[in-house]
Amino acid sequence: MCGIVGAIAQRNVTGILLEGLKRLEYRGYDSAGIAVLDRASGAIACTRRSGKVAELENALAAEPLDGTIGIAHTRWATHGKPEERNAHPHVASSRIAVVHNGIIENFEQLKADLQAKGHQFASDTDTEVIAHLVYDQLQQGVAFPAAVKATIAQLHGAYALAIMDREQPGLLMAARMGSPLVLGVGIGEHFIASDPLALLQVTDQFIYLDEGDLAEVTLDGVVVRDRAGETASHPVQRFEHGQDAADKGEYRHYMLKEIYEQPAVVEAVLEGRLGSDKVYEEAFGAEARAVFDRVKAVQIIACGTSYHAGLIAKYWIEELVGIPCQVEVASEYRYRKTVALPDSLFVTISQSGETADTLAALREAKESGFLACLTICNVPGSSLVRESDLALMTNAGPEIGVASTKAFTSQLVALLLTTLVLGRRHGLDPAVESELVGCLRGLPALFTQVLALDEPIKALSEQFADKNHSLFLGRGAMYPVAMEGALKLKEISYIHAEAYPAGELKHGPLALVDKEMPVIVVAPNNSLLEKLKANMQEVSARGGELFVFADKDAGMVAEEGLQLLPVPESHTLLDPLVYTLPLQLLSYHVAVLKGTDVDQPRNLAKSVTVE
């Protein structure tokens, strides 16, 4: 998705802007650009390129920019093809330069009105109208900050904006509505970014803008006004993640690094949240106790991988808490008439905290009679966290690979903590809570054992690289694990992958089974194992090739048509966590063999902040 960086300093800011764009690359983009006020001439100097930030970097190496104030952008096309002329910054009449994340819904009408007044447009984007609207105000004698204010009052839709005026070399304007934006605080220099990660090379001090905020950013400081025009005094917050979070270190890809971080991530999710034999409910916030005391049902909403985490939580909640739990993808939920069960807790799950559909569903839910809204989220200060009553941070650290790995397992751990806190109020045996707390403490070590399967999984992956289709099977809570395995394989290796609850095979998908379609099975030693074995027989009988991840006590033996990978034993309720890691590794190695762009798969973006 798009990324914004802005800077005002006493030094050339081009390098800072470029580094910021590189740090935002993980979000997905198709073009990039930088504009500065040229130090020598005072004119706007703008360089844009379609493709990777490296293309822009090459262009800047050939023709460097030099300015102490500038804005920059990585674009993920929504209006207009991914071409250089549609890349940001967009400049109106050589005076106003704009970078924008989000979507302006009424841009066609605004553009027609501006064209009628004689404004000439150079792109197909919605963004360019913003530059012209500001310029139009300036032409009417309105000062730059007021011109920006008058402009955003005309915009319908979502935006995060950084705007520069050639005639105001000491001032950047920033605005936020529906798309995240932060201000970075330095000493005698200030910054703007859509994600703090973009600025960690220059500061770890941030001001998180609220919806409707408009900020004036100068060398000496920032002034933020809320939507009512009142001065807002947001605190300066220190960024908590390590400075090296955006560094691949010894790993070939961020995805592999993030897979290997999972033992440490589990420790981070559990830190400060476990007593000797219970989960501390205070971890959920000051009002949590009063809310949890009343919860009689749960509605979970999320997208993609986070949705799969929700599906697994449904099994946990209905089994351990004994209350109804419904799970739905946000993009469907937000557009249908829904009914909240009495005393129902609305739960969103999101790595980024900015997913547009999930955020919209939360906003709907707040008007729909839910008891309270809890978010399970990885990004402090994100929109979901700010707009929910309760938040449980997953503490996974920045996830750079587009394919979600450590964020997923951290969400599962957080959801299990939530289940235990709710279970306590619904008669869950304290001994069961205590046992699961012990198992959670042992999970980092168990994860380390599972990661030791990397080499055999790498060897196995060679049998997938020439395949076009695959089927993932599981039963019970392992069905969503299979769904997540299939999503991982398809998004990074581009192999078509489908997941089915194994009992559904005979109702259709069995027709697909032949030697060319690997069938991957997650088979822990649980109460459904015998049923699952019968389903596997259905595959074998049709000449299908089975790749089975199973616990050593599952009583399975490798034979022709059945390859076996033993997975360490765990508590049944923790199996979804344990069996996820081998599937992540399998997808990773298949993608590497296929030579795809593992960290930035085609057509995808890390943080989906538009609908």
Structure tokens at 345: 């807790």
Closest CA to 480 of 289, 327, 358: 327
Distance CA 423, CA 292 (A): 10
For ligand AGP, the closer CB: 22 or 406: 406
Q: Shortest distance, CB of residue 199 to ligand AGP, whole angstroms? A: 20
Distance CA 259, CA 279 (A): 26
Q: How far apart are the first and last CA of the chain?
A: 11
Residue nearest to ligand AGP (CB): 304
Q: Shortest distance, CB of residue 342 to ligand AGP, whole angstroms? A: 28
Q: Shortest distance, CB of residue 402 to ligand AGP, whole angstroms? A: 5
Q: Shortest distance, CB of residue 354 to ligand AGP, whole angstroms? A: 7
For ligand AGP, the closer CB: 352 or 580: 352
For ligand AGP, the closer CB: 194 or 358: 358
Mapping DSSP to helix (H, G, I), strand (E, B) and coil, where does residue 554 land?
helix
Active-site pick, 2, 46, 373, 377: 2
Q: Shortest distance, CB of residue 195 to ligand AGP, whole angstroms? A: 12
Closest CA to 327 of 302, 351, 344: 302
Q: Shortest distance, CB of residue 304 to ligand AGP, whole angstroms? A: 2
Closest CA to 20 of 167, 191, 135: 191
Beta strand 157-165 with 172-177 is antiparallel
For ligand AGP, the closer CB: 234 or 308: 308
Assess whether 2 carries a catalytic annotation.
Answer: yes
Q: Shortest distance, CB of residue 303 to ligand AGP, whole angstroms? A: 4
Say if residues 159 and 100 touch (Cβ distance below 8 Å): yes
For ligand AGP, the closer CB: 86 or 607: 607
Structure tokens at 175: 């605005």
Distance CA 347, CA 528 (A): 28
DSSP state of 320: I
Distance CA 420, CA 432 (A): 9
- Contact set with ligand AGP (CB under 6 A): 303-306, 350-352, 355, 358, 402-404, 491, 607-608
CA distances from 429 to 76, 276, 323, 425 (A): 50, 16, 15, 10
Structure tokens at 166: 């050639």
- 412 CA to centre of own chain: 15
Q: Shortest distance, CB of residue 381 to ligand AGP, whole angstroms? A: 14
Active-site pick, 22, 257, 406, 606: 606
Residue the block writes with tokens 């389903």: 535
Q: Shortest distance, CB of residue 2 to ligand AGP, whole angstroms? A: 15
Run of H or E residues at 493:
helix 478-493
For ligand AGP, the closer CB: 304 or 423: 304
- Residues belonging to the chain: 611
The string of DSSP letters for 104-118 reads ETTHHHHHHHHHHTT
For ligand AGP, the closer CB: 137 or 580: 580
Distance CA 477, CA 258 (A): 24
Q: Shortest distance, CB of residue 514 to ligand AGP, whole angstroms? A: 28
Mapping DSSP to helix (H, G, I), strand (E, B) and coil, where does residue 164 land?
strand
DSSP state of 178: B
For ligand AGP, the closer CB: 168 or 306: 306
Assess whether 594 carries a catalytic annotation.
Answer: no
Closest CA to 584 of 408, 327, 395: 408
Torsion from C-alpha of 163, 169, 171, 175, nearest 10 degrees: 0
φ, ψ for residue 357 (rounded to 5)? -65, -40
Distance CA 357, CA 104 (A): 17
Distance CA 306, CA 411 (A): 7
For ligand AGP, the closer CB: 485 or 501: 485
How many other CB atoms sit within 10 Å of the CB of residue 438? 13
Distance CA 146, CA 154 (A): 13
For ligand AGP, the closer CB: 33 or 304: 304
- 44 CA to centre of own chain: 34
Mapping DSSP to helix (H, G, I), strand (E, B) and coil, where does residue 372 land?
strand
For ligand AGP, the closer CB: 202 or 303: 303
The string of DSSP letters for 332-356 reads HHTTS---PPTTEEEEEEESSS--H
Question: Which residues are the active-site residues?
Answer: 2, 606
